[in-house]
Chains A and B, each alone.
Chain A
Amino acid sequence: MNWSRLSSSEFLKAMRPFVGLFLVLALFALDSELRTVFFKGSNFKTILTQTVIVAIGAMGMTLVIVSGGIDLCAGSVVALASVVAAKLIEYNYGFLTVTFGTIFVGAIVGLFNGGIITAFRMMPFIVTLGMMGIARGISKWLANNQTVNPKTPLDSVNQLMDNSQSPLTFFPLPDGVWFAIGLAVFMAILLRRSVFGRHVFAIGSNEDTARLCGIRVNLNKVLIYTLAGAFFGFAGVMQFSRLTQGDPSVAIGLELQIIAAVVIGGASLSGGAGSIPGSVIGAFMMASLANGSSIKDWPNYMQEIIIGIVIILAVGMDKLEPLLQRHLNKQKH
């Protein structure tokens, strides 16, 4: 992107998540107790590992939100995927089959979402709300209402999120972190540079105009939800690796964390705005806040309140910026 040609308000918008993260880290740096503990390589490794699941989910969710939709079944799909991964490992499949099989299941759920939304012109909120229950129910059914613990663990999957061997150094980072970074780069380019990416923005900005311009809106929408489902499926593989078991009751409310990360990252719930780097930074920021609160020994309710305030502030900046801009312009005249 050509930064110099952006207007100042667009620049501010693009920088918003980074400024937010910077502010959070700055606040932590002010505190002498946190400064010594928080800014350690090993601690950043912990935070990065804890970011992976939300970040991968946020990549899929960014597509959906930018296109003007919403996906509430992300958490349920992560749980379903973690159970599917556990089941596949029980049948002694290898790394690739387990990973892609699980991603495939997530994509199927997404395909249903997108198909129903476009075929019956239903609200994404309602369809994915229903799917939230369906996917959660299926995962409990598959898992027979318990956690699924494969008898012979598959090390390659378990190691995706494993940092137990070197808890005191930044490197080596777990494989999952590298996967997430690689995916983020790929998705950022896809969303900014590809025809598909531009279509996502066009549909989110104004669906009717997009249709009139000859964009195949329905096909693209189905593709968007399917892709999002695939990302939730991959996040589910990571979730399995973290627990080393398939857990049908895991990730309840995760969709809200993912949506929060995307919104903090500068996306608009009315569509047409948002970015992959922003969403990933948003996810990292939330994990940093949780980590900092833990270290500071703030009680859990403080942590919940703080994260709530940050979400409102992050979005509130949208409204604040025009006011500030107007104020500055007045002063100039």
Chain B
Amino acid sequence: MRSLLLGAIFTSLILISGCGPNSGESVEDGLKIVVIPKGTTHEFWKSIHAGAIKAKQELKAKGQSVEIIWKGPLKEDDRDEQIKVVENFISSGVDGMVLAPLDNKALVRPVETANNAKIPVVIIDSGLESDKYTSFVSTDNYAGGKMGGDYLGKLLAGKGNVLMLRYAVGSASTTNREQGFLDAIKEKYPDIKVLSSDQYAGATRELAYTVSQNLLSRYNTEVNGIFCPNESVTVSMTKALRDLGKAKGKVKVVGFDTSVQSLRDLEGGDVQGLVVQNPVRMGYLGVKTLVSHLAGDVVSKRIDTGVAMVTKANMLESEIQELINPPIEKYLGAGN
């Protein structure tokens, strides 16, 4: 009885899989591109997704049909899960990948696997310690840090004492920003003294707040300007300054990246400037670069997506608005 039943299932399966061979093969010559972010819930990644869709719409208008698959790791910020996603799409045979690697070493092998399987990979957002990729499309963080240093120097009219709170050990993007800031101060503003630049805030906002308080209680009376290399440090440092009554421009703050809170601080005058990246452009150029590579064009190995300085004065301009309030709905609304 049992074997009969199993046999029946088995034969029906063979029959089903036998009929209509190749019925699923798509005949359209569209490109299948997978975009793999570090996670899917953060605003930053949604902006990148929006940029990828923008590129798709533009290419479609030019007669090049592209299918964008958006697939993050099952668990946010899990290296092994991201490796699995890359591997699965190598097996499924997509035409190309746009990847924001969660780690500059752990993702090297999967990218080399893709390379061996003749699938081109464009790296976005964060670097990879390999050269087996087609192009690296991201913010020039060093230039961003320099921009922050220039602006803070200008705010202080070239003299005074500044300090910089680093983000975390081993984070490549913020380390580059920090170096850019220090170089800008050293080259252009010889009269500005850097009080401290060797403290690390750590990964969480809570830690950053504690370290900020400790730093400020040490340099409370001397400090005139502060540079923060990312969002969590900016918000925590500003909060610590407010506690001491040193906010509202008494101590100038230049931060990096935006969030609801840091924009509120900028509007309220507690923060004087924020260096912002352009994630929409990152997603957009990631896909566009990959498609031109697939079309046989030579693409640049390094593409800078640019940074901008947001201040209270310019934050309402439409160009800046597009950066701090990216048009996510326009691209990720219904139908996409």
Binding site for B on A (CB under 8 A): 8, 11, 26, 29-37, 40, 42-43, 46, 49-50, 145-147, 149, 162-168, 239, 242-245, 247, 250-253, 290-291, 294-295, 297, 300, 303-304
Residue of A42, A245, A252 near B91 (CB, 8 A) is A42
Cα A100 to Cα B124 with chains together (Å): 39
Interface centre among B16, B23, B71, B87 (most CB of A within 10 A): B87
Query: What secondary structure prevails in chain B residues at the interface with A?
Result: helix
Which of B77-85, B155-163, B174-182 is the interface stretch? B77-85
**Are the C-beta atoms of A294 and B169 separated by less than 8 Å?**
no
- Residue B106 contacts which of A11, A244, A253 (CB distance < 8 angstroms)? A244
Within 8 A of A (CB), among B1-43: 2, 9, 13, 16-17, 20, 22-25, 40
Indicate whether A36 sits within 8 Å of B74 (C-beta atoms), given known contacts A146-B169, A294-B92, A295-B88: no
A243 near B83 (CB under 8 angstroms)?
yes
Kindly identify which residue among A165, A168, A290 contacts B74, using a CB–CB cutoff of 8 Å. A290
Q: How far is the CA of A273 from the CA of B103 in the complex (A)?
A: 41
B93 is an interface residue with CB less than 8 A from chain A? yes
8 Å CB contact of A46 from B20, B40, B75, B91? B91
> Tally of A-B residue pairs with Cβ under 8 A?
106
From A32, A244, A294, residue with most partner B Cβ within 10 Å:
A294
Cβ contacts under 8 Å, B25 to chain A: 36
Cβ of B91 and Cβ of A244 under 8 Å apart? no
Shortest distance between the CB of A66 and any CB in chain B (Å): 26
Interface size on B, residues (CB 8 A): 42
Say if the beta carbon of B69 comes within 8 Å of chain A.
yes
Question: Can you pick out 20 interface pairs between chain A and chain B where the beta carbons lie within 8 Å of each other?
Answer: A26-B13, A30-B17, A34-B24, A40-B91, A50-B87, A147-B103, A163-B113, A167-B90, A167-B91, A167-B116, A242-B83, A243-B79, A245-B105, A247-B79, A250-B80, A251-B80, A291-B91, A294-B84, A295-B91, A304-B74
A37 touches B91 (CB 8 A): yes
Q: Which of B132-176 contact A (CB under 8 A)?
A: 169-170
Give residues in B with beta carbon < 8 Å to A.
2, 9, 13, 16-17, 20, 22-25, 40, 69, 71-72, 74-75, 78-80, 83-85, 87-93, 103, 105-106, 108-110, 112-114, 116-117, 169-170
User: Closest CB-CB distance, A324 to chain B, in whole Å?
Assistant: 12
Residue with the highest number of chain A CB atoms closer than 10 Å, among B9, B23, B80, B117: B80
Q: Is the CB of A294 within 8 A of B117?
A: no
Question: In the complex, what residues of A have CB within 8 A of residue B75's CB?
Answer: 252-253
B109 touches A164 (CB 8 A): yes
Which of A40, A145, A243, A304 sits near B103, CB closer than 8 Å?
A: A243
Q: Which residue, A34, A40, A252, A295, has most C-beta atoms of chain B within 10 A? A: A295
Q: Give A162 to B85 CA distance when docked, in angstroms.
A: 16
Complex Cα–Cα for A46 and B91 (A): 7
Q: How far is the CB of A245 from chain B (nearest CB, A)?
A: 6
Asked if A239 meets B80 with Cβ closer than 8 Å, knowing A46-B91, A245-B106, A247-B106, the reply is yes
Residues of B within 8 A of A31 (CB): 24
> Which A residues lie within 8 Å of B114 (CB)?
167
Contact B109 A162 (CB under 8 A): yes
**Bound-state Cα–Cα, A8 to B2, Å:** 9
Q: Chain A CB within 10 Å — which of B80, B88, B91 has the most?
A: B91
Residues of B within 8 A of A239 (CB): 80
Residues of B with C-beta under 8 A to A149: 105
Q: How far is the CB of B117 from chain A (nearest CB, A)?
A: 4
Q: Which of A29, A167, A294 contacts B16 (CB 8 A)?
A: A29
Bound CA–CA A42/B116 (angstroms)? 13
Contacts of B72 in A (CB 8 A): 300
Lowest 7 A-B CB distances belong to which pairs? Answer: A32-B24, A294-B88, A43-B91, A164-B113, A167-B117, A243-B106, A33-B24
